[in-house]
């Protein structure tokens, strides 16, 4: 199927479907008519085999207590093996109703109030909440930004771990919002530091499958780094939700290879809640892992084209906007500060350009003046958004 046909078949108008991204614009941004480029989900219907599997399950008409069949584990484990060369074992896998929920549970399981928890900023804002809402000590190390190419300041990471007796590091891999896929060398250095100072690692790998250029920048799970040398201190969170646009079917994974850590997690979770699995989430997830690879490749091509369009247009018409390298995730991170005063960003993006975006300061107080745009969408929205930005910058410079 060519890309135009794919878009025609799968791209969908989401207004009036209780979509947080589109139908909450008035409530969240005070204007229902913005182009919604914020929340990280897509304007594309799921693979048709997923719809077929859900339809069949719904036709059965019973939603009693469910359990996870072997076929689900097999589909998920096959996907990890085929797509990322990651070999998992069934007994490492637990289920959650969302990665953020699990993040809260893990902070509670493995740290005590007051313990230091490290994150690399700017980063997905619920990381801050999971630490601070649980009264842990927030420890941040700022990524180094060289004209949109972000790297880890390892000296600072080590200094922060030492100074704050950090117990837990929550990493985002690939990294939302700066779009990096960490290289095996970077990951090895980072995980070796965690090993040296006995820091546990929670690796949020929800964006694992959104690889913009798999040849150049392949994703490698923290569990595979250095042939699994660090797997005993790593817990991975992932899900089919970002990959296949299934966020509200509330089905995610907690992967814990270390037996002792797994026992601790099980004990804690059993005290906190009786978790059941979401039968529709798992029906959809299994079909997606079994049949969704080709659909995903179309989505990745669209994201890639949207990114190149945005990059080339802005390079030509607004060359002082810095665009972060997009290696992983479908979220692009723009620095508007060369044209717009940081405190005027909202007025510029919302009132002038007509866009609903995620603002830089949500990801780090230091990043006012940056915006994050979601590119997993119909190219027509990206074209309009870029046009609006270019026009408004031209007007402001006159």
Which spans of this chain sit near ligand PLP (rule: CB under 6 A)?
Answer: 40, 98-100, 124, 172, 176, 204, 206, 239, 241, 247, 252
Min dist CB 208 to ligand PLP, Å, is: 10
Min dist CB 204 to ligand PLP, Å, is: 5
Would you say 6 or 72 has its CB closer to ligand PLP? 72
Would you say 98 or 116 has its CB closer to ligand PLP? 98
Would you say 176 or 286 has its CB closer to ligand PLP? 176
Sheet with 370-374, strands from edge to edge, namely 322-323, 331-335, 370-374, 358-359
Q: How far apart are CA 259 and CA 223, in angstroms?
A: 14
Would you say 255 or 392 has its CB closer to ligand PLP? 255
The residue behind tokens 């900023």 is: 121
Would you say 235 or 239 has its CB closer to ligand PLP? 239
Min dist CB 320 to ligand PLP, Å, is: 28
Min dist CB 219 to ligand PLP, Å, is: 13
Min dist CB 61 to ligand PLP, Å, is: 28
Min dist CB 124 to ligand PLP, Å, is: 4
Min dist CB 239 to ligand PLP, Å, is: 5
Q: How far apart are CA 329 and CA 89, in angstroms?
A: 26
Give the pairing type, strands 166-172 and 116-121: parallel
Calculate the alpha carbon distances from 383 to 313, 335, 352, 378, 380 in Å: 9, 19, 16, 9, 5
Are 80 and 89 in contact, with CB atoms under 8 Å apart? no
Of 293, 191, 185, nearest to 235 (Cα)? 191
Would you say 98 or 257 has its CB closer to ligand PLP? 98
Of 194, 206, 269, nearest to 232 (Cα)? 194
Would you say 221 or 340 has its CB closer to ligand PLP? 221
Cis peptide before 122 (omega within 30 of 0): yes
Min dist CB 206 to ligand PLP, Å, is: 4
Q: How many CB atoms lie within 10 A of CB 366?
A: 15
Calculate the alpha carbon distances from 125 to 121, 130, 208, 254, 266 in Å: 9, 9, 18, 20, 27
Q: How far apart are CA 50 and CA 34, in angstroms?
A: 30
Would you say 200 or 331 has its CB closer to ligand PLP? 331
Min dist CB 393 to ligand PLP, Å, is: 28
Of 356, 322, 327, 325, nearest to 340 (Cα)? 322
Residues 174, 138, 166, 189, CA torsion sign: positive
Min dist CB 107 to ligand PLP, Å, is: 14
Of 282, 241, 287, nearest to 98 (Cα)? 241
Would you say 50 or 100 has its CB closer to ligand PLP? 100
Q: How far apart are CA 389 and CA 396, in angstroms?
A: 10
Helix (H, G, I), strand (E, B) or coil at 364: coil
Would you say 92 or 95 has its CB closer to ligand PLP? 95
Q: How far apart are CA 226 and CA 270, in angstroms?
A: 33
Min dist CB 242 to ligand PLP, Å, is: 6
Would you say 99 or 336 has its CB closer to ligand PLP? 99
Are 259 and 267 in contact, with CB atoms under 8 Å apart? no
């Amino acid at each position: 199927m060519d890309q135009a046909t794919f878009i025609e078949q799968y791209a969908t108008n989401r207004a009036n479907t209780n979509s947080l991204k589109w139908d909450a614009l008035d409530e969240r941004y005070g204007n229902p008519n913005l182009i919604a480029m914020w929340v990280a989900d897509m304007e594309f219907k799921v693979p048709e085999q997923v719809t077929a599997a859900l339809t069949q399950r719904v036709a059965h008409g019973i939603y009693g207590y469910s359990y996870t069949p072997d076929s689900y584990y097999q589909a998920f484990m096959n996907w990890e093996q085929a797509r990322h060369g990651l070999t998992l074992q069934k007994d490492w896998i637990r289920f959650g109703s969302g990665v953020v929920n699990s993040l809260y549970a893990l902070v509670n399981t493995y740290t005590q109030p007051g313990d230091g928890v490290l994150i690399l900023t700017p980063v997905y804002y619920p990381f801050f909440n999971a630490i601070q809402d649980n009264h842990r000590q927030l420890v941040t190390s700022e990524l180094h930004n060289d004209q949109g190419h972000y790297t880890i300041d390892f000296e600072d990471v080590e200094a922060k771990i030492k100074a704050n007796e950090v117990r837990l590091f929550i990493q985002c891999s690939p990294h939302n919002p700066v779009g990096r896929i960490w290289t095996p060398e970077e990951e090895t250095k980072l995980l070796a530091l965690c090993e040296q100072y006995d820091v546990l690692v929670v690796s949020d790998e929800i964006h694992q499958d959104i690889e913009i250029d798999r040849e150049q920048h392949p994703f490698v799970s923290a569990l595979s780094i250095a042939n699994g040398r660090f797997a005993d201190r790593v817990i991975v969170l992932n899900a089919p939700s970002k990959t296949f646009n299934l966020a509200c079917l509330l089905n995610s994974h907690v992967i814990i290879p270390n037996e002792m850590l797994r026992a601790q997690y099980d004990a804690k979770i059993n005290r906190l809640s009786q978790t059941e699995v979401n039968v529709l989430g798992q029906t959809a997830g299994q079909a997606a892992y079994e049949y969704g690879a080709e659909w995903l490749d179309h989505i990745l091509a669209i994201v890639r084209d949207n990114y190149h369009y945005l990059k080339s247009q802005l390079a030509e018409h607004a060359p002082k906007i810095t665009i972060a390298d997009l290696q992983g995730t479908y979220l692009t991170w723009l620095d508007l500060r060369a044209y717009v005063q940081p405190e005027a960003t909202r007025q510029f993006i919302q009132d002038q350009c007509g866009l609903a975006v995620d603002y830089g300061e949500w990801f780090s107080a230091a990043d006012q003046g940056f915006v994050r745009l979601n590119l997993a969408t119909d190219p027509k929205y990206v074209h309009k958004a870029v046009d609006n930005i270019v026009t408004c910058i031209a007007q402001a410079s006159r």
